[in-house]
Every structure is written in C-alpha cells, then in structure tokens.
C-alpha cells in the first residue's frame, strides 16, 4: 500500500508583540520550522516576521503573504472582498501544496490565530484538505489591559469586545450598554470612536493603549490622547463590578 506523505500547517500565535510572551510550544515550532509563512503589507517586513528575527534556522524557506489591499478600498466595496478572497485562495493553494508534499509549515500569527486574525481565513479553506493545528497565543487585548496595571473585569462585569470599524451609533450603543470594553482596529477610526465614547458619557474612564507589550508601548487616558492613533491601538474601559 502506498503511503501518502502529508505535512501539517501550524497556525502559531506569537502573542501581543514581545518574544518572551510566546508560549513554549510556539517557540519550539518557530525555531524548528523549515517552511515559514507570514502575512505582511507589501514592501514591509511585517511585525510577525520581525518578532521572530534571530530565532529561525539557517535553511528556513520563507513565504511572505503580501496583502493585496489594506485601506485603499472601503471594506463595504465588493472589490475589497473579491481581492482578499482571491488572495487567501492563492495562499491556501501554496500552503496546501507544501503540506500535501509532506512538509510541515509554520504560519506566524500575531496575537491569537482565532481572534481577529488573518489565519482564520486560511484555516477555513485548509480544513479538510490537509492537517491544520492551531497554537493559541496571548491576545493583544490582554497585553493592553495588563499595560494599564488594572483588571479589565471584576465580579459579574460583562465585557464587550468591538472593532472601531462599526458605525458610530452602533459603537455608542455598545459602549453605553456594557460594564467593561475593549475596542480594537482603531487607527484612522479614532475620531469616530472618541465621539462614540463621549456620547456614552464615559470619556474619563477610557484608556488608549498603543503597541501593547511592544518596545514602543504607550498608555494614555483617552481625554489626553492625540487625534491620531496607529492601527495597533486598543481602547479600554475597565469594569467596576462586585468585589469582596
């Protein structure tokens, strides 16, 4: 009987941005990877790749997956989904080909692969074709609330996680309705988010964390923050719930 050699695609969570916050399993897989894949903006090294610099074996074969579009096209434009869908399909074919030929592949994932990560789009396409294993990682939001040196929730607090890409009215509603809040994907949406927080009457309780757990980390009360924020920013409102 002929045995078909099949490798595994590993989606490896790297954590919020500090190499020493990677799990032992993630570290082992990254250091042993013969085939390494990662997402990046065209022309950039990419944060995930920079995080593992100096950890890779000399003969590693890299596959950089360059996003065809980021903010050039509006998210609600049909062309946005069409181009991204084709991009993920091409990446899937390449990774499935490597795994089908018997090679193990490590795909670098910032934060956790199943939390607002691009790897999810590969996982849904690879599942059932080749073995896929996910290694969880510390999320960026966990790094952010740790940076504020205070718990995000107490007792029975309800935590809401939202993205700043939501319409302003929807953001304001969700901010007003929750005890504790995490808002991700801020970037150019900061002015809209700031207005939504103000409409909810919670500006004085809000914090803006930029580049959590990274060397350039900055923690600022929203009321004192500048009018612009990088994409890797997270807004927090800490719960004030039941305590012994």
| CATH class of domain segment(s) 9-138 | alpha beta
Cα-flanking dihedrals φ and ψ of residue 50, to 5°?
-65, -35
Give tens-digit pLDDT for 68-105.
976 666 667 778 889 999 999 999 999 999 999 999 99
pLDDT in tens, the chain (244 residues): 344 568 999 999 999 999 999 999 999 999 999 999 999 998 899 999 999 999 999 999 999 999 997 666 666 777 888 999 999 999 999 999 999 999 999 999 999 999 999 999 999 999 999 999 999 999 999 999 999 999 999 999 999 999 999 999 999 999 999 999 999 999 999 999 999 999 999 999 999 999 999 999 999 999 999 989 998 899 999 999 999 9
Domain ranges of the chain: 9-138, 141-237
**In terms of pTM, does the model score above 0.85?**
yes
Q: Classify residue 74 as left (phi > 0), alpha (psi -120 to 50) or beta.
A: beta
Distances in Å between the Cα of 32 and the Cα atoms of 22, 58, 64, 121, 182 are 15, 10, 18, 24, 35
Domain 141-237 fold is 3.30.950
């Amino acid at each position: 009987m002929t045995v078909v050699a099949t490798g595994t695609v590993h989606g490896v969570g790297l954590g919020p941005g500090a190499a020493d916050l990677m799990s032992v399993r993630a570290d082992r897989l990254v250091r042993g990877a013969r085939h390494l894949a990662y997402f990046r903006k065209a022309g950039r090294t990419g944060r995930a790749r920079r995080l593992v610099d100096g950890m890779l074996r000399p003969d590693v074969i890299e596959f950089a997956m360059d996003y065809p579009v980021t903010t050039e096209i509006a998210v609600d434009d049909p062309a946005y989904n069409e181009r991204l869908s084709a991009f993920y399909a091409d990446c899937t074919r390449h990774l499935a080909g490597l795994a089908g030929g018997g090679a193990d592949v490590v795909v670098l994932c910032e934060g956790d692969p199943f939390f607002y990560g691009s790897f999810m789009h590969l996982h849904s396409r690879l599942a059932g074709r080749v073995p896929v294993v996910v290694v969880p990682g510390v999320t960026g939001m966990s790094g952010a609330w740790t940076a504020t040196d205070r718990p995000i929730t107490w007792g029975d607090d309800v935590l809401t996680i939202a993205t700043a890409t939501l319409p302003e009215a929807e953001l304001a509603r969700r901010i007003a309705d929750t005890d504790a809040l995490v808002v991700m994907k801020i970037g150019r949406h900061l002015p809209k988010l700031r207005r939504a927080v103000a409409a909810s009457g919670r500006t004085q309780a809000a914090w803006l964390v930029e580049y959590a757990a990274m060397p350039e980390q900055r923690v600022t009360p929203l009321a004192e923050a500048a009018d612009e924020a990088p994409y890797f920013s997270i807004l927090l409102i800490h719960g004030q719930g039941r305590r012994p």
